[in-house]
């Protein structure tokens, strides 16, 4: 019920703000106030995570561990909220795998912990992508996630704290590099290259990557479609398997913090942001403003569908505690997951067959 109220309020609001915007205005707003803002938030939140981990290492108590865990969850939000626009530097600078490789290699992590090796940023940098980034930090901060997603501060070893510090610092370094690439210079080899936000927000014949506004608008819509499909048919379907017997906890992402459902919601939240142009306190025209010109009812329906998908993902959460990884092992949880998957697939079909064609109307 609460979700429905929120949804109606948002629909009414966005309808009022996004009138008669041009593609240029949409692209400008989405590029700067959604995409760039998200990457700046990511850099800021990972820097805060690094500071929180440092504080935890300096003074290891439950309060500081709680703060570090909260900082991890907070940093996770902008990262997952960037997944409908994985364009440009996140790939070309090879940053994605350094932040978010799954699975974690627990065996090797244990082996580093039990060695006499001094743990430094450079050591972690040289280790595999599956020994750094969000999920390594998650495991060290939250424990193995099997019975609970909490970890007693007293169980943190000196080595784990060193590893936490080094990998949090590295995570913040990589996200700062990503934010710099979007704000200032997308190619460190070419000081004359602008921030990627400039590239995507100024399409035209002189633009190497996007020759028209339509091309950028298509990139936005394809990005929305891409993550909707990924959440439904990758992140949720794969671990769920065909039946309870084939459900696979090892395929669940963010299983240690029990943060999977939040991850998925923020993935879809990023679709909402591109569509409505609404990111945090910033409001402006998004893709919806273009759809509205062609078909106002379609424009409103898509927004409602996006919000409904987020609500259906939250509804997967087991009433008696746990997260996605626990839900897929119960009959009810699986039914709720399937409902969300079906809604996401329907949204994908609408984006492909109804929203995408509006670019040419």
- Where do contacts with other proteins occur on this chain (CB under 8 A)? 86-89, 91-94, 97-98, 101-103, 105-108, 111-112, 117, 123, 125-131, 186-191, 196, 199, 208-212, 214-219, 222-223, 225-226, 233-234, 238, 248, 250, 359-360
Residue 52 or 351: which CB sits closer to other proteins?
A: 351
How many C-beta atoms lie closer than 10 Å to residue 267's C-beta? 24
Rounded Cα distance between 325 and 258, Å, is 8
Residue 295 or 352: which CB sits closer to other proteins?
A: 352
- Cβ of residue 322: shortest distance to other proteins, in angstroms? 22
- Cβ of residue 218: shortest distance to other proteins, in angstroms? 3
Residue 51 or 123: which CB sits closer to other proteins?
A: 123
Are 18 and 277 a contacting pair, CB within 8 Å? yes
Rounded Cα distance between 226 and 84, Å, is 7
Angle at the Cα of 77 (from 74 to 81), degrees rounded to 5? 165
Rounded Cα distance between 250 and 243, Å, is 15
Residue whose tokens read 């070419």: 190
Rounded Cα distance between 259 and 314, Å, is 11
Rounded Cα distance between 85 and 98, Å, is 17
Residue 112 or 298: which CB sits closer to other proteins?
A: 112
| DSSP class per residue in 112-128 | HHHS-PPP-HHHHHHS-
Rounded Cα distance between 119 and 168, Å, is 13
Rounded Cα distance between 9 and 299, Å, is 15
Residue 99 or 168: which CB sits closer to other proteins?
A: 99
Residue 180 or 301: which CB sits closer to other proteins?
A: 180
- Cβ of residue 329: shortest distance to other proteins, in angstroms? 17
- Cβ of residue 8: shortest distance to other proteins, in angstroms? 33
- Cβ of residue 9: shortest distance to other proteins, in angstroms? 33
- Cβ of residue 185: shortest distance to other proteins, in angstroms? 10
Residue 94 or 321: which CB sits closer to other proteins?
A: 94
3-state secondary structure of 279: strand
- Cβ of residue 65: shortest distance to other proteins, in angstroms? 26
- Cβ of residue 285: shortest distance to other proteins, in angstroms? 19
- Cβ of residue 92: shortest distance to other proteins, in angstroms? 4
Residue 130 or 184: which CB sits closer to other proteins?
A: 130
Are 355 and 291 a contacting pair, CB within 8 Å? yes
Are 315 and 353 a contacting pair, CB within 8 Å? no
Are 283 and 277 a contacting pair, CB within 8 Å? yes
Residue 15 or 128: which CB sits closer to other proteins?
A: 128
Q: Which two tokens stand for residue 318?
A: 């087991």
Rounded Cα distance between 163 and 224, Å, is 36
């Amino acid at each position: 019920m609460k979700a429905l109220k929120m949804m109606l309020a948002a629909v009414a609001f966005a309808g009022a703000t996004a009138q008669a915007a041009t593609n240029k205005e949409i692209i400008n707003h989405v590029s700067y106030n959604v995409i760039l803002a998200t990457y700046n938030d990511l850099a800021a939140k990972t820097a805060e995570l690094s500071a929180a981990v440092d504080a935890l290492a300096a003074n290891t108590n439950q309060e500081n561990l709680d703060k570090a865990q909260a900082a991890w969850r907070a940093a996770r939000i902008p990262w997952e909220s960037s997944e409908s626009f994985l364009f440009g530097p996140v790939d070309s600078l090879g940053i994605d795998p350094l932040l978010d490789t799954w699975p974690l290699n627990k065996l090797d992590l244990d082996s580093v912990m039990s060695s006499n090796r001094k743990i430094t940023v450079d050591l972690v940098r040289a280790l595999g992508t599956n020994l750094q980034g969000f999920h390594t930090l998650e495991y060290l901060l939250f424990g193995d996630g099997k019975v609970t997603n909490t970890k007693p501060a007293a169980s943190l070893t000196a080595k784990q704290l060193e590893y936490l510090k080094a990998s949090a610092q590295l995570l913040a370094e990589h996200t700062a590099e990503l934010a710099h690439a979007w704000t200032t210079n997308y190619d460190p080899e070419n000081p004359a290259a602008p921030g990627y936000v400039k590239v995507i927000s100024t399409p035209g014949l002189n633009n190497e990557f996007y020759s028209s506004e339509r091309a950028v608008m298509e990139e936005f819509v394809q990005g929305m479609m891409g993550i909707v499909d990924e959440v439904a048919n990758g992140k949720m379907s794969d671990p769920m398997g065909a039946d309870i017997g084939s459900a696979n906890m090892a395929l669940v992402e963010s299983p240690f913090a029990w943060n999977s459902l939040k991850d998925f919601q923020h993935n879809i939240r990023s679709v909402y942001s591109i569509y409505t142009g609404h990111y945090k306190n910033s409001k402006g025209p998004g893709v919806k403003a273009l759809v509205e010109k062609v078909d106002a009812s379609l424009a409103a329906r898509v927004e409602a569908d996006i919000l409904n998908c987020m609500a259906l993902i939250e509804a997967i959460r087991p009433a008696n505690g746990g997260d996605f990884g626990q839900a897929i092992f119960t009959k009810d949880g699986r039914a709720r997951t399937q409902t969300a998957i079906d809604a996401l697939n329907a949204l994908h079909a609408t984006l492909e067959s109804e929203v995408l064609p509006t670019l040419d109307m």
